[in-house]
Structure 1
Amino acid sequence: MFEEKDKKDKDNENFDDIETDIGSNLDTNNDEIDEDNKVYEIKPTILETITDNISPIKIEDEMKVSFLDYSMSVIVSRALPDVRDGLKPVHRRILYTMAELGITSGTSYKKSARIVGDVLGKYHPHGDASVYESMVRMAQPFSLRYPLVDGHGNFGSIDGDEAAAMRYTEARLSKISNKMIEGLKKNTVNFRPNYDASEVEPEVLPAKFPNLLVSGVSGIAVGMMTKIPPHNLAEIINSFIIFAKNPEIDINDLIATLPGPDFPTGATIYGKKGINQAYLTGKGSFLIRAKAKIEYLNSGRSRIVFYEIPYEVKKPSIIEKVAFLVRNKKILGIKDVRDESTRHGIRVVFDVKKGFSPEILLNKLYHSTDLQVSYSVNMLALVKGVPKLMNLVQIFSHYLEHQKEINLRSLNFDLEKASEKLNVLLGIKVAIENIDKVIEIIKSSKSDQIAQEKLANTFNLNPGQTKAIIDMRLGRLTSLAIEKLITEVDELKIEISEIKSIIESPKKLIELIINQHKSVAEQFGDQRRSVIVPEINHLDEEDLITDEVVIISLTQNNYVKRINLDEYRLQNRGGFGASTSSLYKDDELKSLCITNTLSDLLIISSNAKIFKLRSHQIPDSSKQGKGIPFLNLLRLQKDENISNLIAWNQEYKNHWLITVSAFGNIKKTELSAFRNIPKNGKIALKMVENDYLVSAFIVPDDPNIDIIIASSQGLVNRWPIKLLRNSGRASIGVKAINLEKGHKIIGACFTHGNDFVFSLSKNGFGKKTPVEEYRVTGRATKGLMSIDSSKAGDLIFVSTIKEGQEAIIITKRGFAIRIDLDTAPVISRKTKGVKLIKLKEGDEITSVSLIKKTVNDSQTNESES
C-alpha cells in the first residue's frame, strides 16, 4: 500500500518536472500577468532548430543516388564472387574466421554458434541466419562438389530438411580448405579494415585451386546474376595446367580439354553444345536429367527407379509433383510412389500399373517434373571489384595472375625470412671463429648495447647479427653445433639462390604453379559423377511405341482396354470361341475396334459427342484383363456412355463422317470438322429425346457409293449417298429408313457395288450375300429382308466385306471367336445363314469387328471353355 503511494508521489514529481521544463520555454511580457489574458512568447524547439538546417531535394534524385549505393553494396559486398578465389564475402569471412580461430582440418570441432558469432562481430554485420546458412551450405556434400567446411551434426539433407540450430552443430575447415588459406600468413594477399576499422580482413584468399569453377556459385545481385556450375577438380586443374603452359591457346582448343560440369548429385548432363557455348561466351544452357533404371518383376509388373537426381532438386518436390499429376490424371499408369533412399544412396521408386509401358512413363516423368531441368550458365564474377561476364580463357587468365601474385609474394616473404636467418647465422659463424675475442669484448662491456656496438665495430657486423651473438647460448660452441651451423648456412644459401631464380624467371614461376596444382589434384582429385551426353534425343512419346495392330475392347459399363491382335488366334467357325475377358459383375462386352497403336481413335458417346485419343493412350492389357474406366481417359458427363469406336487414319482427307441414331436419323458431316477436338469433346449429331447413337463410320467423297441401313428385324435399305445432303455438326440429320413400330437401327455401312453384305444375328447365325441382291431404293423406305429374324434371331450386325477379311465375334459373356470370312458360305438374302459361333445358354452376340487377313494366320483352335 505504502509502495503504491510512493510510486504515485514519484509520478507527480516527474509530472511537475515536465511542467517546469515546458514553462521554461515560455516567456511572459510582464512581470505581473493577468491570469485571464496571459501572453506567452514561444522559444524555438530543438526540432525547429534542426529543421532550419535541412535542404530541400527532389525525391527522384535522392532515389537514384541511394539505389545506386545500395546496388553497388549488393554487387560488391554480398551477391557476386571474386574471380580469384571464387568466394562471396560472407564465405570468405567464414573461412578466414575459422582459420583465425585455429579450427583447421586437424583440430577438434567447434560450436557453429561461436564461429557465426565471431563472423558477425568482427567482419559481417548482417543477420546471423544468413551467415549460418552460408556455412551450412559449404558443409553439404550435395551442395558443393568438394565441401569447404567439415560439419559435425545435422547439416540438412537433400530432401530439403533444414540444419539443426547453430547451438547444436559443430564445424571445422575441411582438408581441401587448407588449400584456400595456405600462405595467408606470408603476406600473400592484401588486407583491409573491417566495417568499424577495429580488425582487418583479407580482400581475397590465396586459393591454391580454381575454386570459382570447382565449387561453382549462384547469386542474384541488382540487375545481374551469376550462375556457375561445379566441376571436377582433377579435370579443371588439368585444363588450367594446359592453359598455364600456353596462355595464348585458342579458346576452342582449351574447351576441348574440359569435358564439362560435374555435379555433386551426379545425374546425366545433356547438351555438349550448350556447355561449350558457356565456356566460349560465358552464357549457355544444358539439361540435367535424373538417372533411372527399369526393374521388371516376376509378377509381370515393372517399376521405375531413380537413383541420381538433378542438382539442387529436392526429392520431396519430385514426389509431390508426381502425386499431383497422378491425382489430376495428367499421368496415367503409376500405381505407387515410394522413397526408399538411405544414407548410402537415393532410390525413388514408381510402381507401374499393368498394361502401361514403363519407357513411356519414364519419358513423361522427365518432361513433366524436375527429374529433368534446364541449367542456365552465366559466368559473372568480380574483377578488381567490377562485375564482368567471362569465358573460360578469361577466368583462367585472371586466376593465373592471382597465382603468380600470391606465389611471388610468398617467395619474397620466404626470401626475406631466409635472408634474415642467413644474416644471423653468418654473424654467429663470425663470432664462433673469433670466440675468444668476442668473449673478451662482452666481458669488458658494461651493457648489452655497448657490447653490440663494440662487436659491430670490431667484426663489421650489423645489429641483427650482434643481437644474435649476445643472445647466443654456449651450447652453440660445441663442435657438432658448429658443423650443423655450417651446413645450415650452405643450405640457406642454396635455398635463397633457388628462390631468387624462381622470382627472376617467369618460366620457373609457372612450373611452380603447375606443380602446386598437380599436388592438389593428386591429393583431392576423384572420379567424375555426372555423365555427359553430347545431345539429348528429343524423343516424343510415340518414338518409344511399336506400331502394331491392336484391338480396343469396350464394355457396357464403359471399361476399355487395348489388346494385341495376336491374342485372338484364328479358329474354325461353329465353335464356342475362347474366353476373351474377365468382366466385372453385371458388365458385358459391347464392341471391338481394330486399329494401330499409333493411330487416332474417334470415340463417340451416347450423347453423340466425339472425343479423340491416340490408341496407345489406352492401357495395354491381356484378354483376361478388366481394363480401366473410360472416365479415367475422357471428360465424360454423368450417365454418358460410349457408343462407338472408330479407327482414324491420318491419310483421310476428303472424307465424311456418317452418324446414325437408333430412331433412324442419319447425317453426313465433313471429317475435317473433327480434326481438332477439345478434351471435353465435340458434338457430332443433335439428338432428340430418348434417341441415341448406334452407328458411325467414315466414307470417301465419292458420289457413286451407296448407304446401307439395317434394322433389328432384319430389314436392309440401300440408297445412293447423293440423296444425303451435307449437314453441320449441330443438325439432327434426315430420316434414313422407314422403321416399323418397335424396330430400331442396329447398324449402317456403305458399298461401291462390288462387295458382299455380311449379316449376323444375336443367336450366332451369319452369312454373306452379294450386294447386288439388295437393290437400290429411295431414302427413308422400309427396306428388304436380309435375314430371317424369326429363325436366326434379331439382326445384330451388318457390313460390306471383300475377300481376305476376318471377323472377331464377341458375346456378352466375354467369349470371342476369330474366323476367316472367306470360308463363310455365300447365301441368298432371305435365308437365316449358318451357325458361325455356338452360344451357351443365355449368351448372345454383342459385337463384331472386321480385320484384314494377315499372312501368318493359322487355323489353330483355342480352348472353348
Structure 2
Amino acid sequence: MTEKTDAPKIEPTEHSEPLRRAIGERYLTYALSTIMHRALPDARDGLKPVHRRILYAMRELRLSPTGGFRKSAKISGDVMGNYHPHGDAAIYDAMARLAQDFNVRYPLVDGQGNFGNIDGDNPAASRYTEARLTAIAETLMEGLAENAVDFRPNYDGTLEEPVVMPAAFPNLLANGSSGIAVGMATNIPPHNLHELIDACQLMLNDPEASDDEIVRLVPGPDFPTGGVIVEPRETILETYRTGRGAFRLRARWAVEDLGRGAWQIVVTEIPYQVQKSKLIERLAELIQTKKVPILADVRDESAEDVRIVLEPRSRTVDPDMLMGMLFRNSDLEIRFNLNMNVLIDGRVPKVCSLKEVLRAFLDHRRDVLQRRSQHRIDKIDHRLEILEGFIITFLNLDRVIDIIRYDSEPKAALMAEVWGRKHKRATSEDDYVPPKPGKGELSEVQAEAILNMRLRSLRKLEEMELIAERDALRDERADLAALLADAGLQWARIGRDLAEVQKLFGKGTAMGKRRSDFADRTDAEEVPFEAMIEREPITVICSKMGWIRAMKGHVALETEVKFKDGDEGRFIFHAETTDKILLIGANGRFYTLIGANLPGGRGMGEPVRLMVDLPNDSEIVDLMIWRGGEKLLVASTAGDGFVVASEEVVAQTRAGKQVLTVREGVKTALCRRVSGDSVAVVGENRKLLVFPLIQLPEMAKGKGVRLQKYKDGGLSDAITFTLASGLSWKDPAGRTRLETDLAQWQGMRASTGAMAPRGFPRDNRFT
C-alpha cells in the first residue's frame, strides 16, 4: 500500500477585472501591433517590418547584386530564425513580391526561377528558386554600417536589426504599399523615381513649395504594368493634397489593320494588379452572355509581353465604341484607390499629403546625413590619434625600438616616455635607460597601435605618407564639422546625393522611363445600346411553358411552329435584335430581355427562367416590345391599377423591377399600351365600365387605385381607347364589332358599371 502524504494545497490565484476592460486592453495591444508592426509602412523608408527584415537578412548573407544567388528557402529560413518569428510561407510570399516586376515598380529582390507571373500564377516553392539583392535595394541600406539609423534587439535578444533603413530614395512613393490594419488601411500606388526626386529637389530649393507645383513634377502614379491614367488633373491635385482619392487606369490598346477593311484591337498593357487570366475569362463571359454584342472573339497571344487580341463582330463597328463598352464592363479600366495612411517616425499613423510624405523622407535623410557625418568624424578622430602616435614613432624610432626590445613592459614604458629628448641608442640591455615615471605623450590606444605595427611599416617613405594622410583627414574633418554646423550645406549635400540616385535609376535608364501615360477621358463609352448591336429582324416566339427563342427574319405569324410535347405557343411577334423586350410577371415584376441575346430559333429555345429570376409559381402575363416615351396601363386581378411611363419599367438586372405591388392571392392581370382618352374595364361579373383616362394617376410603382368596384370576383380585362371613335371588340364569330354609344357604361372610376352589351366575348376580353 502506498502511504498518503498530506501535501499542502496550492490555492489558485484569482484576478478580477471587468470583462470590457480586459478585452479592450488586449484588443488594443493587438491593434497597435498590427498597425505598427505589420500593416502600415514607415514614411521614411516605405517598408513594413517583414520587408525590412528580408532585405537586412539578405545583406547579412552578402547577397550583393554582383554576387551569387542563394536558395530562397535559405533566405526565408534566416529571416524567420533571426528576425521575423512568423511563418516561412508568409515571409517567402513577401520576398517573392519584391522580385515581381509587374507588382513592384523598382524590384528590390533579383529573383532567379519562377516567381509568378501577371496571369496570377503563384511562385514556385522556395526550394526551387534563388534570389539576391538588386542595385537599388543596396541604396536603401547604404549607411547601415555607419550608425545611420538606430538598431534594436531582435525578438529573442540574440541579434540586432535596424529600426528603419537609411533609404537613399523615397521608396514609399516609388514602389507604393498596401495593407489592412485594425480600423485603418493604406493603399499607395507606385510613382516614377525621377519625378519624385525632381519634387524633392524643388522642396530643397523652396521648402514652402505648393501642392500645385509639386504635382506639376509628379503628375500621377507610374504603374509597373503601364496603362493610361484618365483622371482629370484637378482630381489628381485634390487627391495628392488630401491623401485620399482614386485614379482611373485603362489598358493601352491600338487598332491593328488586317487589310481589306478588316481590323482587330490589340491590348498591350493591362491595368495594375489585374490578373490577365481572369481578365480573359471576363471578356469571354461578355461574349457568351452577349453583354457586349459587338465583340466577337478574344484571344490571348501573350508571350514575354502582353498581347490580347479583340475581334469585332463587324468591320463597321467603331473601335472607340467597342473599347468604351469593354472599359465599362470589364477590368480593362479600374479605379485604383489612394489612401496615404503611413507611420510618421515609425510611431504615429497619419493620412498624409504628397508633400508631407516627401517632407518626412527629406527630414529622415537629413538625420541620416548627420549621423553618418558624426560617425565619420569619430572614425577620423580615432585614426588621427593613431597617426599622431605613428609620427612620434618615426621621429624617435631608435628610442621606440629600445623600449620594445629591452623593456619588460613596453606598453607602459611607451606611455610614460616624454618624447622629444635626445637618447643614446642602447647597444645592449645594460645600456638601456628606462623611462622615468611621469606623464608621457602617448595614449593607450597609440601605444597599442605602435606595438602592433609591422616591421615593413618602418620604411622611410612611410613617414611622408602618414603626414599626408593626417593632413587629408584633418581637412575632411573640418569639412564634416562645417557640414554639421550649417543646415544649408546639409540640404545641398542631400540634393547632390539624390541627383546621383537619379542618374543611376532615373529616366535615362530603361527601368526609370515613365510607363503610365495620361489622357483625357473620352465620351465613347456613353453609347446608346442600339448602336452596339447589328440591327436585324427577328421573330420572337414564346411558348405557354416559358420556352423562348428568336427566329431570324420576320416570319409570317401564322407559320406553324414546333414545340415540346405538352407545350404550345402563346406569344409570337416581329421584333429586331436591337429591341428591348418586356416580360411582365404575375408577381408584379417587369423583366427586360434583349433581342440579340435570345437563343436562336433552330431548336426549341431555352427556358426564360434561366435568363431572368422569374419564380416558378409566377406565370408570364405578357411579352411585348419596349418603346421609349410611351405610357403603360398596368392592373391587378383585384381591380387596382395605374399608368406608368415606359422608362420606369426597364430592369437592369436579372432580378427585374417591382412595378405593381400585389398582395397574397392577387396577380398581375394585364399590361396595355396607353392610347386615347378613355379606359374600358370589364370584370369577371361581365360588367363593363368606361371612364376618362385622366382619372388614373401616373406612378412609378405601387398598388395603384381602384379601377372598378366588384362585389364578387375581380378584373378580367382593361383597355384604353378614344371615346369619339368608339369601343371595338371581336364577337364569338370573329367579327369586329364597334360600339359608339357608350353612355350607359360611362361612369366614374371605381364604380360598378353595367352589363356588357350582347355579343361581347365570352372570355371577357377586348382582344
Same fold (TM over 0.5): yes
TM-score, structure 2 normalization: 0.71
Once the two structures are TM-superposed, the CA of residue 291 in structure 1 deviates from its matched residue by 1.9
Once the two structures are TM-superposed, the CA of residue 152 in structure 1 deviates from its matched residue by 1.1
Once the two structures are TM-superposed, the CA of residue 334 in structure 1 deviates from its matched residue by 3.5
The 5 Å alignment of 1:326-725 reads 326-342=287-303, 344-354=304-314, 358-384=319-345, 385-455=347-417, 458=420, 460-525=441-506, 526-533=512-519, 536-537=521-522, 540-542=525-527, 553-555=537-539, 648=627, 650=629, 673-678=645-650
- 1:289 maps to a residue whose letter is R
CA spacing shift, 1:439–1:228, aligned 2, 3 Å: same
Q: Aligned match of 1:312 in 273, 279, 286?
A: 273
Once the two structures are TM-superposed, the CA of residue 314 in structure 1 deviates from its matched residue by 1.0
SS at match of 2:110: strand
Q: Give CA-to-partner distance per residue, 1:538-568, whole Å, 9 cap, x none.
A: 55532798799x97533587757899xxxxx
CA distance in 2, matches of 1:284, 1:456: 74
CA spacing shift, 1:453–1:328, aligned 2, 3 Å: same
CA distance in 2, matches of 1:450, 1:528: 66
Deviation larger for 303-312 or 162-171? 303-312
Once the two structures are TM-superposed, the CA of residue 614 in structure 1 deviates from its matched residue by 11
Q: 8 Å contact 1:97–1:119 — kept in the other structure?
A: yes
Q: 8 Å contact 1:560–1:618 — kept in the other structure?
A: no
CA distance in 2, matches of 1:780, 1:300: 66
CA distance in 2, matches of 1:405, 1:682: 65
Once the two structures are TM-superposed, the CA of residue 744 in structure 1 deviates from its matched residue by 9.2
CA spacing shift, 1:642–1:199, aligned 2, 3 Å: same
Partner of 2:206: 246
Q: Aligned match of 2:131 in 158, 167, 171?
A: 171
SS at match of 1:542: coil
Once the two structures are TM-superposed, the CA of residue 288 in structure 1 deviates from its matched residue by 1.7
Q: 8 Å contact 1:602–1:610 — kept in the other structure?
A: no
Q: Give CA-to-partner distance per residue, 1:697-719, whole Å, 9 cap, x none.
A: 9967799xxxxxxxxxxxxxxxx
Q: 8 Å contact 2:730–2:736 — kept in the other structure?
A: no
Q: 8 Å contact 2:55–2:133 — kept in the other structure?
A: yes
SS at match of 2:311: strand
Partner of 2:102: 142
CA distance in 2, matches of 1:340, 1:109: 32
Structure exhibiting the larger radius of gyration computed from Cα positions = 1
Partner of 1:795: none
Partner of 2:752: none
SS at match of 1:395: helix
SS at match of 1:382: strand
CA distance in 2, matches of 1:319, 1:242: 43
Partner of 2:438: none
CA distance in 2, matches of 1:118, 1:469: 41
Q: 8 Å contact 1:602–1:611 — kept in the other structure?
A: no
CA spacing shift, 1:643–1:127, aligned 2, 3 Å: closer
Partner of 1:110: 70
Partner of 1:842: none
CA distance in 2, matches of 1:527, 1:562: 55
Q: 8 Å contact 1:456–1:466 — kept in the other structure?
A: no
CA distance in 1, matches of 2:716, 2:171: 69
Q: 8 Å contact 2:328–2:525 — kept in the other structure?
A: no
CA spacing shift, 1:456–1:257, aligned 2, 3 Å: farther
Q: 8 Å contact 2:95–2:109 — kept in the other structure?
A: yes
- 1:542 maps to a residue whose letter is V
- 1:528 maps to a residue whose letter is R
Q: 8 Å contact 2:539–2:552 — kept in the other structure?
A: no
- 2:89 maps to a residue whose letter is A
Once the two structures are TM-superposed, the CA of residue 362 in structure 1 deviates from its matched residue by 2.2
Q: Give CA-to-partner distance per residue, 1:204-249, whole Å, 9 cap, x none.
A: 1111111111111111111111111111111111111111222222
Q: 8 Å contact 1:551–1:562 — kept in the other structure?
A: no
CA distance in 2, matches of 1:299, 1:682: 49
CA spacing shift, 1:340–1:449, aligned 2, 3 Å: same
CA distance in 1, matches of 2:153, 2:311: 60
CA spacing shift, 1:603–1:247, aligned 2, 3 Å: closer
Partner of 1:706: none
Q: 8 Å contact 1:268–1:531 — kept in the other structure?
A: yes
Partner of 2:249: 288
- 2:276 maps to a residue whose letter is K
CA spacing shift, 1:457–1:543, aligned 2, 3 Å: farther
- 2:55 maps to a residue whose letter is L
SS at match of 2:80: helix
Q: Aligned match of 2:163 in 185, 203, 213?
A: 203
CA distance in 1, matches of 2:106, 2:553: 51
Q: Give CA-to-partner distance per residue, 1:348-367, whole Å, 9 cap, x none.
A: 23333237655434222222
Pair 1:213 & 2:173 matched? yes
- 1:217 maps to a residue whose letter is S
- 1:531 maps to a residue whose letter is D
CA distance in 2, matches of 1:143, 1:266: 11
Q: 8 Å contact 1:140–1:147 — kept in the other structure?
A: yes
Q: Give CA-to-partner distance per residue, 1:653-675, whole Å, 9 cap, x none.
A: xx899xxxxxxxxxxx9985534
Q: 8 Å contact 2:540–2:551 — kept in the other structure?
A: no
TM-score, structure 1 normalization: 0.63
Deviation larger for 470-479 or 77-86? 470-479
SS at match of 1:464: helix
* Percent sequence identity over aligned pairs: 35
Structure 2 unaligned segments of length 5 or more: list them: 422-440, 507-511, 542-548, 555-560, 563-571, 634-640, 661-671, 680-691, 697-706, 709-714, 720-725, 739-756, 760-767
CA distance in 2, matches of 1:467, 1:635: 92
Q: Give CA-to-partner distance per residue, 1:324-352, whole Å, 9 cap, x none.
A: 4444443434333322211x211223333
CA distance in 1, matches of 2:74, 2:266: 43
Q: Give CA-to-partner distance per residue, 1:288-332, whole Å, 9 cap, x none.
A: 222223445447665443221221111122223334444444343
CA distance in 2, matches of 1:433, 1:367: 86
Structure 1 unaligned segments of length 5 or more: list them: 1-18, 27-42, 564-584, 620-625, 658-668, 685-695, 704-721, 749-778, 782-865
CA spacing shift, 1:547–1:213, aligned 2, 3 Å: closer
CA distance in 1, matches of 2:86, 2:583: 66
CA spacing shift, 1:739–1:54, aligned 2, 3 Å: closer
Partner of 1:38: none
Partner of 1:275: 236
SS at match of 1:367: helix
Once the two structures are TM-superposed, the CA of residue 55 in structure 1 deviates from its matched residue by 2.2
CA distance in 2, matches of 1:413, 1:330: 67
CA spacing shift, 1:107–1:702, aligned 2, 3 Å: same
CA distance in 1, matches of 2:532, 2:270: 32
The 5 Å alignment of 1:36-75 reads 49-51=10-12, 53-75=13-35
CA spacing shift, 1:144–1:562, aligned 2, 3 Å: farther
- 2:503 maps to a residue whose letter is E
Once the two structures are TM-superposed, the CA of residue 601 in structure 1 deviates from its matched residue by 6.8
SS at match of 1:731: strand
CA distance in 2, matches of 1:164, 1:544: 46
- 1:505 maps to a residue whose letter is D
Once the two structures are TM-superposed, the CA of residue 477 in structure 1 deviates from its matched residue by 4.0
CA spacing shift, 1:456–1:126, aligned 2, 3 Å: farther
CA spacing shift, 1:483–1:544, aligned 2, 3 Å: farther
CA distance in 1, matches of 2:730, 2:19: 87
Once the two structures are TM-superposed, the CA of residue 86 in structure 1 deviates from its matched residue by 0.9
